[in-house]
Amino acid sequence: MDLTTDFPRSVKEKISGVVMLARTADKAKAKAHGNLGEYHYNCPMDVAVFTFLGIDHEKFLEAAGHGDAAIETFSHEHAAKKTAAEIAEWNANFLQYAPAPGSDGEKYFHELRNTVAPDRTDVTAWADLLDLDEKRDVPRKTAA
């Protein structure tokens, strides 16, 4: 994985049924091979998935250095300790994760959104904003 020339997978893609884990795996593989580019391995979003699954980020990085099969095995061992309901709830909450009102994170979120898609005020979650920034389609949300 070379993140100096490509994007990591979307937050929405899964490994072992868990969102964010595929993106984190891409960043770990890139870090293990010296191709991380502008991305950050073990960022707060990575930490969230590691915390949920009880994964040590250094051990995950080590598995990433051995390729996709090692990542799949390592991830499955941790995800198997969670119920399907726990994973589904975590996934739903994570995909709606937004910056705290008034925080520096919210300021950065709005700056990035205004840079990549100023007309997309319907985008309020990090997962959608990252997809927009990385040129993925993000369906417009309509008022209920």
Domain ranges of the chain: 14-95, 98-144
For residue 111, give the amino acid letter.
E
Residue by residue, DSSP assigns 56-117 as: -HHHHHHHHTT-HHHHHHHHHHHHTTS-HHHHHHHHHHHHT--PPTTSHHHHHHHHHHHHH-
pTM: 0.90
Instruction: Kindly give the confidence (pLDDT) of every residue in the chain, 144 residues in length, as a single tens digit, with 9 standing for 90 and above.
Output: 899 999 999 999 999 999 999 999 999 999 999 999 999 999 999 999 999 999 999 999 999 888 888 899 999 999 999 999 999 999 999 999 999 999 999 999 999 999 999 999 999 999 999 999 999 999 998 765
Per-residue tokens: 119: 């007309």
Closest CA to 116 of 94, 138, 101: 138
